[in-house]
Structure 1
Amino acid sequence: MIRLFVAAAFAFSLPAHAQESAEPRWSIAIHGGAGTLDPDKMTPERRAAYEAALQNALDAGKAVLAGGGSAMDAVKAAIIPLEDDPLFNAGRGSVFTWDGTNELDASIMDGRDRSAGAVTGVTTIKNPILLADKVRTDSPHVFLMGEGAEEFASGQGLETAPPEWFATEPRRESLERMKADRLSAFDVDHKFGTVGAVALDMEGNLAAGTSTGGMTGKRWGRIGDAPVIGAGTYADNRSCAVSATGWGEYFIRVGVAQEICTRLRVSDDATGGGDQNIADAVMAEVKELGGDGGIILVTPEGNALYSFNTTGMYRGRATSEGVDEVAIFAAE
């Protein structure tokens, strides 16, 4: 039987008096990747660094929502500091391709109208999540790649960065070890450092975003699930907002993000327990096919939860009910 590491306590619902008065509420969840994480190998200093980085991102998104801002702005606000932090495999600190370059992917989706934007294989954009959003708002398209995405970006006023901004020595060492020992990306990385955020704002709107550097040693223009709308990112006000992290090929095959939202939309259980069960069931399908990873999820009712089939996932949540926490390992 597949064992999924989940936390039903991560879901929440409003107390009866709050529901009756229809008080505005907000919630946000973030992730910084999932994978084979061993508590015994996590030094106190490194754990503190990850927790501080997650809290910093969570605080940025929380401030937008608590101030009455939109879910879309909150998602971007939370993802940008994660893209800028070399601890995570997104933006600065992205893994290297086989050819020794950093190629970045990102996607974002607005649950109000299901508008979406995505980019893949960009190399000079400091914060790819902002370019993905520009594709959503300032182009007639959803998905741009490589040179075309860079050309579009040149007229959007986005901050660029040279190759050395994205490149970090630990990621370079991972590529060198992979080549020297003929390892797979999974043997080298042990985790998927993709970052993402999902949010519900006080207007009742949902949004989701995801950003990644992909897999160590990726070749032949490989694209994972992070920039694929419906696989790594999805938002629909009728059901949920999802951001995924994991072995992208399997998340694409299952269509994880949209699959969860579709099942929630047709479900008649809005208590939060049904949300968790649906997320777990979809992640079980990923596991059955051979894939690892996890998701974060926010629903229109304000339920914020996650499901992952690995030993850990860098994650956090904050809500208008006063919840504010980050966690790393499955038992937390």
Structure 2
Amino acid sequence: MKRIVFLIFLVAFSQCKSGETNPSPTSNNKIAIVIHGGAGTILKENLTPELEQEYKKKLEEAVRTGYKILQNGGSSLDAVEKTIRVLEDSPLFNAGKGAVFTNQGKNELDASIMDGKSLKAGAIAGVTTVKNPITLARTVMEKSEHVLLAREGAEFFAAQNGLELVDPSYFYVENRYQSLLRAKEKEKIELDHDDKAEFYDPTIKDSKYGTVGCVALDKNGNIAAGTSTGGMTNKKWGRIGDAPIIGAGTYANNSTCGVSATGWGEFFIRNVVAYDIAALMDYKKKTLEKASQEVIQKKLTQLGGTGGIIALDKKGTIVMEFNTPGMYRAAIDSNGKLTLGIYKENE
């Protein structure tokens, strides 16, 4: 009798253990999303109340677009792409429709996206006819063996994959063109008083940075990040900034965080800003807040770089860190709370 009872106990125990070691899959119920529309010399006195509301309205539309996807169980990649497309389609931001002009009077677009689950990434640079560069970046990630494609090759790849192409005139926005003319006039005046001539570009340091970006966390705990930009007004020689550079302008890893950057791209590349934040979390076990502060307020600032980042970790922690007077930004946290901001001070 004791033997029978013992056998029954063994069977029950093994079933219990089996249930413990093979639990049914569960998902992370936390979702969160954060976006930026560029950082730089953004001062309240330079924006009319009407224009300020336009920016906030578009930021809210974009962040709610991505949040709704996450609420419905969509992936962080879908949320990032669709959110950035909203910003690319607006003339308010320096990406897609609102891209700034190069020295040659063209609009050259860069973008990148990264999947924190697989660490796959896609990026494009210098395209002039792709309506939504972020979609092309994702297509590079998912439908090619490459990470970064540029110029004519990237556009040929876009056509091959049926992406929407537009005439370059689609990107013409009058105030962006006027910004180019002012930059050229300033450059001419300063060059007249300088002997560096051919390789001197005085407009870079005083530029306003209008990149857009998004980081999202979905119900499965997957983080994705993306960035899209028209670069710098009056840029020359095929200059490319940090936005399409994985690790500099964009990075995502489920084990640490996702980051999208905006600012003086050369400094973000040299500091590998997006990856550095993740590395500090991984190797030094810093929190997302501490890692972001160290990179933006210390490392970047000490080197002379300006700009900011948005970031999100696997717990749903949101960070919006910048060392400029302003950064267009919005977020919806894991509790569903919406935050909108433009200037440095609390709003």
Q: Provide TM-score, normalisation by structure 2.
A: 0.86
Q: Which letter does structure 1 place at the counterpart of 2:101? A: F
Contact 2:159–2:165 (CA<8 Å) still a contact in 1?
Answer: no
Question: Amino acid of the residue matched to residue 340 of structure 2?
Answer: V
- 1:298 maps to amino acid: L
Superposition deviation, residue 301 in structure 1: 0.9
Give the match's secondary structure for 1:154: helix
Question: Which protein shows a greater Rg?
Answer: 2
Q: Which amino acid aligns with 1:185?
A: T
Alignment-derived partner of residue 76 in structure 1:
81
Shift of 1:22: 8.2
Residue 293 of structure 1 is matched in structure 2 by: 307
1:266 aligns with 2:283: yes
Q: Please give the per-residue CA displacement for 1:107-146, whole angstroms capped at 9, x wherever unaligned.
A: 0000001000000000100000000000000001000000
Question: Any idea what SS the aligned residue of 1:185 has?
Answer: coil
Question: For 2:203, which of 182, 185, 191 is the aligned residue?
Answer: 185
SS at match of 1:257: helix
- Preserved CA contact (<8 Å) 1:185 1:215: no
Unmatched tracts of structure 1, length 5 or more: 1-20
The alpha-carbon deviation at position 188 of structure 1 amounts to 6.2
Find 1:277's aligned residue among 283, 290, 310. Answer: 290
Residue by residue over 1:245-296, the C-alpha shift from the partner in whole angstroms, topping out at 9 and shown as x without a partner, is: 0000000000000110111123445xxxx32111010012111111100000
Counterpart selection for 2:272 from 230, 239, 255: 255
Report the CA distance between 1:313 and its aligned residue.
Answer: 0.4
SS in 2 for 1:322: coil
Q: What secondary structure sits across from 2:279 in the alignment? A: helix
TM (norm. structure 1) is 0.90
- Deviation above 2 Å: which 4+ runs of structure 1? 183-189, 266-269
> Cα distance, 1:37 vs. partner?
1.3
Counting matched residue pairs gives 307
Which amino acid in 1 is paired with 2:203?
A: A
Offset, 1:320: 3.3
SS in structure 1 at match of 2:96: coil
Specify the alignment match of 1:8 in structure 2.
none
Name which of 197, 212, 218 aligns with 2:229: 212
Query: What's the CA shift for 1:181?
Result: 2.3
2:145 is matched with: 140
Counterpart position of 1:221: 238
Name the counterpart of 1:16. none
User: Mapping of 1:106-185 within 5 angstroms?
Assistant: 106-182=111-187, 184-185=202-203
- Distance change in 2, residues 1:23/1:218 (3 Å): closer
- CA–CA distance in structure 2, aligned partners of residues 109 and 64 of structure 1: 18
**Cα root mean square deviation, aligned:** 1.4
2:257–2:288 CA contact under 8 A, matched in 1: no
> In structure 1, what is the equivalent of residue 52 of structure 2?
47
Which position in structure 2 is the counterpart of 1:315?
Answer: 329
Q: Could you say which residue in structure 2 is the equivalent of 1:60? A: 65
CA deviation after TM superposition for structure 1 residue 319, in Å: 2.3
**Which amino acid in structure 1 is aligned with residue 41 of structure 2?**
T
Letter matched to residue 99 of structure 2: S
Which runs of 5 or more structure 2 residues have no equivalent in the other structure?
1-25, 191-201
